[in-house]
Structure 1
Amino acid sequence: MKIAFVGKGGSGKTTLSSLFIRHLTANEAPVVAVDADINQHLGAALGLDDTAAATLPAMGAHLPLIKEYLRGTNPRISSADSMIKTTPPGEGSRLLRVCENNPVYDACARPVALDDGEIRLMATGPFSESDLGVACYHSKVGAVELCLNHLVDGPHEYVVVDMTAGSDSFASGMFTRFDMTFLVAEPTRKGVSVYRQYKEYARDFGISLKVVGNKVQGRDDVEFLRDEVGEDLLVTVGHSEWVRAMEKGRPARFELLEADNRCALQTMQDTAEDSYELRDWERYTRQMVHFHLRNAENWGNAKTGVDLAAQVDPAFVLSEALALPQPS
């Protein structure tokens, strides 16, 4: 299943993403983690030192390889150059699977050892000074969106994406790729205002959205969040000495995370798994095509010089069966 963590800057979404990833690994779930934030901090939150975090390969730098691999033998795609971030898979396309080796993972993913196992970590790459005035955040995450469009996941497999702060997460169709979106909100007016924005965007597309209250200090904070977001409040997380030590670069073993916080993470996992069971694969594919056609009309056709609507394979539907390993 695919999980997104969103929220305003400073809400703690990267910290909660990293805790959730550690929790999944402790539960022996295979995980592909993606840092899709403008500010790349997920690697550090997972224990990488500054050098290792800085040398993570940028997915955007490998976009030509990603396109060529995913295109496969799809006859509707004349060349990798004609693919854009929303290009959907069709007959002949290569798909990515969580538990496999492939050239995309070889180029863009790096193993990260945690206390209870190993994950794959991918990153969009930082927004550098050379990008100012000539690129935007969405140019960085195009490779992530293309990979998510071509990634099929089975039950108990996880793709966890730490999204950028604020409402930019909804500026492309990528927000429809997730079975569950966890919005990390502080018990403040600003925290819940971000929730209202996300809720409005998500409503029209049937997005499953739950609020994780963070930095909660007492019953009044919980009641405030409950009053503001209602039943969308799933769990709350308070002060953590384990997290404080982790942020200093000296974490204890994950098994020593406070029991209340471990219970909150388990509730999040259970909720995500319930949401995955409700996934409508036809709607999931249809939404992908919807955003591709919108992008094609608005800018893609002009940029590529190709009628990108012709890339849509009307008979193709992603399905759980495709998540099974394929013969090489």
Structure 2
Amino acid sequence: MKIAITGKGGVGKTTIAGLLARSFALQGRRVLAIDADPDANLASAIGIPAQKLAGLQPFSKMKNLAKQRTGADQNNGGLFVLNPRVDDLPDRHCVEHAGVRLLMMGTVEHGGSGCVCPEHTLLRSLMKHLLLDRDDVLIMDMEAGIEHLGRATAEAVDVLIVVVEPGSRSLQTSIQIEQLAGEIGITKIVYIASKVADEADLTYLQQSLQNKTLLGHLSVSEAIREADKKGSCAFDMQGEFKTQISNIVTALGAFSR
């Protein structure tokens, strides 16, 4: 199962990505979590200790690796390989915790929208490999967009989860995300409601998302707030949200069949 998670900043998508990753791992599934958000926080949401992350770099920062794999370091007049070998990279450049392996993608910084450089080429090839060639449960935490996806890999995404909270700005962002997803061919789009304080919040979102697939919701949780403050993993705590995320995992399985 290949799952991409996005939504407006601050809605709780990274927390949900971490909860889903740990939930699938608890079922005995092989889980690969991809942090594709420039504000990388997925490691703490999974519960990976800081000392385990020492030395782990985003692929976008591995300039030497990108040059080696694409042949851009061979003084060949600026030409380089557009489909470098990447199949060995996920296992060599990951951190594992509680049955979840984490990869950090990062973002290539460049001046134009049409960047074709070794780092971008490496990221694109790696993403294609992860989505098309591996059997892991793939959970990708993305920024408020789908920049890491393209037409060549969009069809491999089993489901795009848009996380929303009660509020017009969050819902407006979700509309923009749906439009972008449609442009590259992603049609399986579902929603998870986050930070739901009461029945009125849930009703508001249900009415706003009529004719959409709402997989479930997470209530406002003091346990999640405390975990976020401490930079720790909510999955290792107890609360109503554990049942709610379990219900979402079940709904995901039914939806992706």
Unpaired segments ≥5 residues, structure 1: 69-79, 88-92, 97-102, 278-328
What is the 5 A alignment of 1:108-127?
A: 108-111=93-96, 113=97, 117-125=98-106
Q: Does structure 2 conserve the Cα–Cα contact (< 8 Å) formed by 1:66 and 1:104?
A: no
Residue by residue, what CA displacement relative to the aligned partner does 1:126-160 show, whole Å, maximum 9, x if unpaired? 77xxx4x6477987775444223223344xx3011
Which stretch has the larger CA shift, 48-57 or 194-203?
Answer: 48-57
Asked whether the equivalents of residues 45 and 231 of structure 2 are also in contact (C-alpha less than 8 Å), the reply is no
Q: State the secondary structure of the residue aligned to 1:28.
A: coil
In structure 2, relative to structure 1, the CA distance for the partners of 1:137 and 1:107 (3 Å cut) is: farther
Aligned 8 A contact 2:69 2:85 in 1: no
Question: With structure 2 as the length reference, what TM-score do the two structures score?
Answer: 0.77
| 8 Å contact kept, 2:194–2:217 | yes
Distance 1:31 1:190 in 2: 32
Which position in structure 2 is the counterpart of 1:257?
238
The residue that corresponds to 1:185 in the other structure is: 164
Inter-CA distance 249–255: structure 2 relative to 1 (3 Å threshold): closer
**Is the contact between residue 195 and residue 219 of structure 2 (CA under 8 Å) also seen in structure 1?**
yes
Query: Using a 3 Å threshold, how does the CA distance of structure 1 residues 161 and 184 change in structure 2: closer, same or farther?
Result: same
Q: What SS does structure 2 have at the residue aligned with 1:14?
A: helix
1:44 partnered with 2:44: yes
134 and 250 in structure 1: CA distance in 2 versus 1, 3 angstrom threshold:
closer
Of residues 243, 250, 254, the one that matches 1:270 is 250
Q: Letter of the aligned partner of 2:189 in structure 1?
A: L
Q: Which residue of 2 aligns with 1:32?
A: 32
Taking a change above 3 Å as real, the CA distance of residues 13 and 54 of structure 1, as seen in their structure-2 partners, is: farther
1:240 aligned to 2:230? no
Counterpart residue number, 1:211: 191
Task: Summarize the Cα distance change of 1:146–1:275 in structure 2 as closer, same or farther, 3 Å threshold.
Answer: farther
How far 1:206 moved relative to its partner? Answer: 4.5
For residues 50 and 112 of structure 2, what CA distance do their matches in structure 1 show? 25
2:6 maps to: 6
- Aligned CA distance change for structure 1 residues 144 and 21 (closer, same or farther; 3 Å): farther
Paired position in structure 1 for 2:76: none
In structure 2, what residue type is equivalent to 1:186? E
Q: Offset of 1:180 from its aligned partner?
A: 1.0
Gaps of 5+ in 2: 72-78
In structure 1, the residue matched to 2:139 is 160
Q: CA deviation at 1:251?
A: 5.1
**Superposed displacement of residue 23, structure 1:** 1.2
Cα separation, partners in 2 of 1:94 and 1:146, compared to 1, 3 Å = closer
User: Normalising by structure 1, what TM-score?
Assistant: 0.62
